[in-house]
Amino acid sequence: MLEKIISQENVDAVKQIVGNGNRFVVLAHKNPDGDAVGSTLALCHYLRSVGKEAVVVLPNAFPVFLSWMPAADEVLFYENDKERCDAAIEVADALFCLDFNILSRTGDVCHSLESSSAKKVLIDHHPQPSEEFDVYISHPEACSTCELVFRVITALGGVEALTFEMAQCIYTGMMTDTGAFAYASTRKDVYLIIAELLGKGVDKDWIYRKVFYNFSVTRMRLWGYAMYDKLKVYNKYNAALITLSHSELMRFYASKGDTEGLVNQPLQIKGLRFSCFLREEQPGKINVSLRSVDDFPCNAVAAEFFNGGGHKNASGGEVYGTMEMAVERFRQALQKYKAELTE
């Protein structure tokens, strides 16, 4: 039996919102990952299965290795379809906000969300959500937002309500947010849920290959270059840094998602506890990805040095400025957290 984590009060609130409404928008954060895309699509499939109009709105594109997901081709992207996205948000009876804990994580969509009077239902696993939502299904103990969407759907309609398509989407997000069940997956409920998903016909090996064995040759060479030429190990701090400038990314024809997962690689080095990847998304804007192991809270570093946040062991942020500035902040973070990194 699954442990019940979502309160009956919240289940009832969602039941009422879905029952009373007809049109819904399901949203996730900027630079959507497997959990963001999987959870929004799964909930969208569910809402449609109970006769509602639903659409997924994402701030910008997702990596190509997620494009096989059922109904991925129907997602609206704010960055290139602002009018249709705003129109959908304007007429929505409720907005489902998935896999983020503060409206500003949706980038430019944020203004439209702020000015909407529709009820905002948060379904998320990041700590400390902001006070901008009406219903809070906020559970940092969940391995992924997909786990929570599984719980919401089955609380509303039982496992019978779960289709093969929903199961595929949910499995994908649970897999990507746990590094294929390597971390954030120690609760037995994760495996009970997977068992249900497999029962719906999910082919886990096929999904694994679709998502992880999907490199282009240029992506593989970019990773090789990053490992060989760009990885810097700070032995005194048990930390590592990889930087890739805009021109380096151009040189390897890098496209969206090509660096996804790269930040995890240095953690395979024995004794390493903290990994940082700085990617110059565009000249003057550095995207920051942080990963840590055990108790080292990389989200504290993200908040303090990189204007960001996230989970204890997976977080991120951004720096507006040069790569040198971003590297300098990383060095300052190492100084400040030296004791915690070496204890």
Can you give the binding site for ligand 5GP, defined by CB under 6 A? 31, 33, 105, 126, 263, 289, 308-311, 314-318
Q: Which is nearer to Mn ion, 184 or 226 (CB)?
A: 184
Q: Which residues contact 270 (CB under 8 A, 6 or more apart)?
A: none
Rounded to whole angstroms, how far apart are CA atoms 155 and 157? 6
Identify whether the C-beta of residue 183 lies closer than 8 Å to the C-beta of residue 174.
no
Confirm or reject binding of residue 258 to Mn ion (CB under 5 A).
no
Which phi and psi angles does 194 have, rounded to 5°? -60, -40
Q: How far are the Cα atoms of 57, 111, 121, 267, 297 from residue 70, in angstroms, in the given order?
A: 15, 29, 23, 33, 35
- Is 260 a binding residue for Mn ion by CB under 5 A? The answer is no
Question: CA 255, CA 258: separation in Å to the nearest integer?
Answer: 6
Residue least distant from Mn ion (Cβ): 35
Number of chain positions touching Mn ion (CB under 5 A): 4
126 makes contact, choosing from Mn ion, ligand 5GP, none, with CB < 5 to 8 Å by partner type, with: ligand 5GP
Please state the closest distance from residue 125 (CB atom) to Mn ion, in A: 6
Residues 60-119 contacting Mn ion, CB under 5 A: 99
User: Do 126 and 310 meet the contact criterion of CB atoms below 8 Å apart?
Assistant: yes
Per CB under 5 A, contacts with Mn ion among 136-165 are: 145
Which residue, 104 or 322, is less far from ligand 5GP as judged by CB?
104
Alpha carbon dihedral 269, 270, 271, 277, in 10-degree steps, equals: 10
Quick one: 113 or 143, whose CB is closer to Mn ion? Answer: 143
Query: 92 vs 263, which CB is nearer to ligand 5GP?
Result: 263
Binding site for Mn ion (CB under 5 A): 35, 99, 145, 177
